[in-house]
Structure 1
């Protein structure tokens, strides 16, 4: 992980909604238990939209930022997009951050 990548990841975490999304995705069974599809797919973008109370386009921009930073992955199933945490990248990020500080 380069310094530039680390900087981009830190920027991705600068918005409280993005941190909330990562927190919710950490325990999807707690926050999205009413999802019709298996949580093994990830969490449907529409449910994340509802949970934030923000517009679909705003939430999509937040999800795209988290995805570009590597914190989440997207899986498309039919017409739905599902998102899940990328635990390995999060672990690497935290390790690198610990080394730097």
Structure 2
């Protein structure tokens, strides 16, 4: 179950349409140009996410950090690159919590 504070963080993260779109795009990591099947496990590089979103690096990083803090995505660092993927287990728990609460 998500606590009230955790739910608030999720709702804040999802209040922005661009952050919601990032989460939707990450549902299909292979839709990003240059993604290889072996990349799916670690996620999508921030650079690729930034290019698709048409945002600056700083804004993209802030949006992804907010989604990470809300427990919706997981970040993996490889060298100087950071990759993001959806946290499907946590998203399922969130949906279960919402069903229980509402």
TM-score clears 0.5: yes
Instruction: Name stretches of at least 5 consecutive residues in structure 1 with no aligned partner.
Output: none
DSSP-derived class of the 2:96 partner: helix
Alignment of 1:15-26 (within 5 A): 15-26=16-27
**CA distance, structure 1, for counterparts of residue 66 and residue 97 of structure 2:** 20
Instruction: Name stretches of at least 5 consecutive residues in structure 2 with no aligned partner.
Output: none
Is 2:40 the partner of 1:39?
yes
**CA distance, structure 1, for counterparts of residue 18 and residue 4 of structure 2:** 24
After the TM superposition, list the runs of 4 or more consecutive aligned residues in structure 1 that deviate by more than 4 angstroms.
none
**CA distance, structure 2, for counterparts of residue 98 and residue 67 of structure 1:** 22
Shift of 1:54: 0.8
Query: How does the TM-score come out when normalised to structure 1?
Result: 0.92
Report the number of matched residues. 100
Residue by residue, what CA displacement relative to the aligned partner does 1:4-37 show, whole Å, maximum 9, x if unpaired? 11111111111111111111111111x2142367
Is 2:54 the partner of 1:56?
no
Residue by residue, what CA displacement relative to the aligned partner does 1:62-83 show, whole Å, maximum 9, x if unpaired? 0000000010010011111000
Q: CA RMSD in A?
A: 1.4
